[in-house]
Amino acid sequence: MRRSILAGLGVGLGSVLVPALARAQSNPVFPTKPVRFIVALGPGSGADTGTRFVAERVGKVTGQPAVVENRTGGDGVIAVQNLLASPPDGHSIMYITPSPMVLTPLLREVQYDPLRDIRPVAYIARAHHVIVTGANSRFKTLNDVLAEARAKPGTVKMSNYGHHYRIGGLSLQRVTGAEFIHVAYKGAGQANNDVISGDIDVAITDTGGAMPLIEGGRLRPLAVTSPGRHPFLPNVPGMKELGLNYELMVWTGFAVHGKTPEPIVQKVEEVLLGILKSPEYTAYNEKQGGAETVAGNGEQLRALIQTELGRYRELAKTMPLVEK
């Protein structure tokens, strides 16, 4: 009799505990410890300040501390390595851009697969760039630049920093038939300074970073890399207006370790999207760099990454200047 009662209790407890366990797994508590945001760019960059804005609000929303760690170098590879060395529990979140997710894996050997090892959880924003020359430059329009770069191949100097802007310059070359001397820099600051001084003729650069220099009369904007005009630069033509089939866009997002359990992924996404969809964040993002806030989910960003990998894979094959 006693054995039968115990057996019955076992069945009864099992029927209660199994659904309870399933509910706990499908509705996990997150976060249970401090959250760490990994940024591949240095302190003071747009990526850094924007992530700190989000991290501060994650701390307020969840009650857990959220910190930002800058892991620079290797065009994002060092940051990825740091993410993949962390427990796959959602408490390490990386700020991602096209460099570590698309361009670097195409242009050099890396020890990770961006679609397998890294799981996007939020699509933050997208932004286009501005093509600039110095205020005292002989070039008044982008067509002036292209005409000289076609007529005198290899005489017009174009600065770039990172794979994104280098491929952007090479792609413009391919679309227009122009030929530039590509000069590599470590960041936008020195590249813009050399355009201002006249040591470099033209640059494709970050719009938010260039705006103070444009407004201060030190850089002359020639075009924006979107089909239409940019809200910060309403008097500057877009590519479609110039008759060019060209677009260069940077997107940003957040991601976690690819082995993070799905219920945790969903909770991380829920917390981040609650912040990214707030009017407060939209206003901050647009003021910082004129970027368009998307606040999309991880699957939207993953689909974009797949598309970008296909597009740039074909483009990279035709560009011998890109180092494999």
Render pLDDT for 226-246 as a digit per residue (tens, 0 to 9): 999 988 899 999 999 999 999
Quick one: which of 90, 92, 64 has its CA closest to 79?
92
Are both 256 and 122 inside the same structural domain?
yes
Whole-number Å distance between alpha carbons of 197 and 195? 5
Whole-number Å distance between alpha carbons of 139 and 143? 9
pLDDT at residue 17 greater than cutoff 60: no
Residue 152: domain span:
128-224
What was the pLDDT predicted at 319? 56
Least confident interval from 60-74, 192-206, 277-291 = 277-291
In a domain, 232, yes or no: no
Question: Predicted confidence band at 289 (pLDDT cuts at 50, 70, 90)?
Answer: low
In a domain, 239, yes or no: no
pLDDT at residue 22 greater than cutoff 50: no
Are both 121 and 253 inside the same structural domain?
yes
Are both 103 and 120 inside the same structural domain?
yes
Using the Cα atoms of residue 225, residue 229, residue 231 and residue 235 in order, give the sign of their dihedral.
positive
In a domain, 141, yes or no: yes
Are both 203 and 140 inside the same structural domain?
yes
Strands (E), the chain: 35-39, 66-70, 92-96, 118-134, 156-161, 180-185, 202-206, 219-224, 249-257, 292-297
In a domain, 291, yes or no: yes
Are both 111 and 67 inside the same structural domain?
yes
Are both 201 and 142 inside the same structural domain?
yes
User: Total domain count for the chain?
Assistant: 2
pLDDT, tens digit (0-9, with 9 covering 90-100), for 237-280: 999 999 999 999 899 999 999 999 999 999 999 999 999 999 99
Whole-number Å distance between alpha carbons of 212 and 197? 16
Are both 80 and 135 inside the same structural domain?
no
Q: State the CATH number of the domain containing residue 88.
A: 3.40.190.150
